[in-house]
Structure 1
Amino acid sequence: MSGVLQCLQLDGRATNASLAEEIHLAEAPTWRRVRALEESGVICGYRALIDPSALGYEVTAFVHVRFGRHDPTLEQAFEQEVREIPQILWCHTVSGATDFLLCVVARNLSEYGELISARIRSLPGVTSIESSFSLKAVKDGSLIPVD
């Protein structure tokens, strides 16, 4: 199964025939393996990778969000609202001094400042925000080790 996963992570549009050839297996069992991985939830979807700068997003920021108190209702409300802000690419609950870590894109610093002021600072539970800006992506991907 790891061969199928490696191939699909590199090319989610690979045909069943090319997958079969790559992993040295007939097409029917290859198709069954892919289907089983999809049905079991190991493969949870397919998508295109888009270069943010090609769409004008020149700023990538990692935003550390802190809450004043831990209230599950506030956290759920925060999480729900975060899901609805398209400039927030991902959000993780984390350990340590920060409660949530966000990755945010903006076209420029002015747009980023407006997003922080108008949207993120006013989210439920937020008492403190600290931003770190990406200067260069050294490794930017989501390939999961499957060996």
Structure 2
Amino acid sequence: MDRIDLKILAELQQNARISFVELARRVGLSKTPCAERVRRLEDSGVIRGYYAALDPVAMDRGHVVIVQVLLSGTTAQELRLFNEAVQRIPEIQTCQMIAGDFDYLLTVRTRDIHTYRSVLGEKISELPCVKQTHTYVVMEVVKDEKTIDIKTNEPRRPA
């Protein structure tokens, strides 16, 4: 990646709906070479996709909890089964495998604590190999960045 690719990425993070004409103007290229660079960035996996940033409160998903999950075992098959099953639970926003005293850290979004209790009892606790969970209720989301600033490698909020 060169400096023009980095400029393209920075512009697309600010506005993924920008036209190729405007994007090309901002990065100092003509439309066709700019479009070719974007396609190359997509094909190589640097650009993984485009999305709409939704307001979780407006979507009735304003209640956030963090869940530590300890598995009964961590063989390759047990991890695969857990990973596959987590994908089917829409309330789980993120799932990260952790090196430490527990195995996974989940971010779960629901309407309220009562809905979360149902998700915990009927879905999360029923995941393959779950031995124990610990729930931490988020009081306030202070920072929730989804993009990376190309220049500083720091998280950045989309415009």
Q: What TM bracket, shorter-length normalisation?
A: over 0.9
Q: Tell me if 1:131 matches 2:131.
A: no
Query: Any stretches of 5+ residues in structure 2 without a counterpart?
Result: 152-159
Query: Any stretches of 5+ residues in structure 1 without a counterpart?
Result: none
Q: Tell me if 1:146 matches 2:146.
A: no
Per the TM alignment, residue 75 of structure 1 is displaced from its structure 2 partner at its CA by 1.5
Correspondence for 1:96 among 97, 100, 118:
100
* 1:62-108 residue CA offsets vs partner (Å, 9 max, x unmatched): 11101122222221111111100111111111111120111111100
Q: Tell me if 1:10 matches 2:31.
A: no
- Residue 61 of structure 2 is matched in structure 1 by 57
Per the TM alignment, residue 51 of structure 1 is displaced from its structure 2 partner at its CA by 0.8
Greater Cα offset, 109-118 or 24-33: 24-33
Residue 63 of structure 1 aligns to which amino acid in structure 2?
Answer: V
For normalisation by structure 2, the TM-score amounts to: 0.87
2-structure distance, mates of 1:86, 1:134: 18
What is the DSSP-based 3-state SS (H/G/I as helix, E as strand, rest coil) of the residue aligned with 2:148? coil
For normalisation by structure 1, the TM-score amounts to: 0.94
- Residue 36 of structure 1 is matched in structure 2 by 40
Q: Cα RMSD over matched residues? A: 1.2
Written as runs of structure 1 = structure 2, the 5 A alignment for 1:97-112 is: 97-112=101-116
Per the TM alignment, residue 47 of structure 1 is displaced from its structure 2 partner at its CA by 1.1
Per the TM alignment, residue 55 of structure 1 is displaced from its structure 2 partner at its CA by 1.2
Considering fraction of residues, name the structure with more helix: 1
2-structure distance, mates of 1:140, 1:69: 32
- Residue 77 of structure 1 is matched in structure 2 by 81
Aligned residues: 147
Greater Cα offset, 14-23 or 135-144: 135-144
